[in-house]
Amino acid sequence: MKKIHFIETIVCVLMLSCVSAQKTASYYAAAEALPYVKNSRDTQLKQTDIVPLILSHFEDSERRPKALVINYDGCRIDLLPFLDAETSAVFSNASDGGFYLMFTGGEDGCLQNTRTAPGFTTQFTGKWALEEGGHGVFNNGLLKKDEPRTHFVRLAEKGYATAFHFLWGAYGSIFANDRRYAEKNGLPVEWNRCRPKGEARKNPDEALMREVIDRLSVEGEGEVDFLTCIFENTDLAGHHYGFSPDEERYREALLEIDGYARKIIETVKNRSTYASEDWLILISTDHGGRNLTHGAQSVYERTIWISSNRPL
């Protein structure tokens, strides 16, 4: 394990220095100019901040606390200017709270790769992979340790009904320990893997949206308190055509997913009990990308973002 850390550290340092200072500065400058932006390159939030803010929402709320987290897999921050500043899900949600620059990979860029399994495991546990007490998922293909537990399991231990909606089958094995723990203890956690059939296979993200909308439409008995979901088309388009705002298919994937997120948020706001509920709504991503991939520590891969309907 020590040797792996050493090699990864060398790779990290090399990758961090790969993008010129000028390009990094203009990348951040564009991010800092986004609508409702509340921080800067020097005050970026950390991906590990998401768990504490969700847990404190449930602890501090004076009404019935609820939370929804929608993720656009592999969505670079410089793709967001293509969204409508007023009507898009990302920015209309941020208009009620704020939009924030965030980073993944760890403070020094060496605590985990900028890949999907590490990114979401950090978003779900509030720890980096290789920090003291970390989750251990520094790359894809690894199993999360027993501790730290995911936020949906921790909330379920407090009696809240939680649901994770996803398409990628690997999440079943990454979080297998939590799944077994929840089942053994009879916790109200749902692992809702979407498996589209027939025509729906043409657009798995749309199928996922329908399942999320159905789940959030349940009121009263069986209703959910916390739901998180992951759309994948941005990441898929990035791998096929390039993680770049210059790639039309990458931009189209964002516009499509954002439309799905808008419908999901409308569903929440149309709940007959919405006024008596206290919804924290977040939209975020797991990592950025560069050329046809991601995993290293360039500014394009490390920089992520979060839209919140509450000031953070």
User: What's the rounded Cα separation, in Å, for the pair 218 and 231?
Assistant: 21
Contacts of 28 (CB under 8 A, 6+ apart): 40, 41, 101, 299, 303
Cβ proximity to Zn ion, 92 vs 303, nearer residue = 303
**What mask of x and - would describe binding to Zn ion in positions 10 to 49, judged by CB under 5 A?**
----------------------------------------
308: left (phi over 0), alpha (psi -120 to 50) or beta: beta
Provide the H-helix boundaries in 185-247. Answer: 204-217, 233-241
> Rounded to whole angstroms, how far apart are CA atoms 184 and 180?
6
Of 75 and 265, nearer to Zn ion (C-beta) is 75
Q: What is the smallest separation between the CB atom of 28 and Zn ion, expressed in angstroms?
A: 23
Q: Tell me the closest approach of the beta carbon of residue 71 to Zn ion, in angstroms.
A: 12
Nearest residue to Zn ion, scored by beta-carbon proximity: 235
Of the residues 235, 258, 286, 301, which one makes contact with Zn ion according to CB under 5 A: 235
Q: Which segment (69-77, 93-101, 151-159, 257-265) binds Zn ion by CB under 5 A?
A: 69-77
Nearer to Zn ion, 48 or 114 (CB): 114
Q: Is residue 232 involved in binding Zn ion (CB under 5 A)?
A: no
Residue 280 CB, shortest distance to Zn ion, in Å, is 27
Q: In what helix (H) or strand (E) does residue 95 lie, and over which residues does it extend? A: helix 89-95
- Hey, is 154 helix, strand or coil? helix
Closest of 155, 312, 270 to residue 224, by C-alpha? 155
Residue with smaller CB distance to Zn ion, 74 or 98: 74
* Strand boundaries in 104-253, DSSP class E: 162-166, 189-193, 226-231
- The crossing angle, in degrees rounded to 10, of helices 116-125 and 50-60 is 30
φ/ψ (deg, to 5) at 226? -135, 130
Q: For residues 253 and 240, what is the distance between their CA atoms, to the nearest angstrom?
A: 12
In angstroms, give the least distance from the CB of 243 to Zn ion.
9
**How many of the chain's residues bind Zn ion (CB under 5 A)?**
2
Nearest CB to Zn ion, comparing residues 206 and 301 = 301
Q: State the nearest-atom distance from the C-beta of 169 to Zn ion, in Å.
A: 15
Residue 59 C-beta: closest distance to Zn ion, Å:
34
Smaller CB distance to Zn ion: residue 177 or 293? Answer: 293
Residues 129-188 touching Zn ion, rule: CB under 5 A, are none
Residues of this chain that bind Zn ion (CB under 5 A): 74, 235
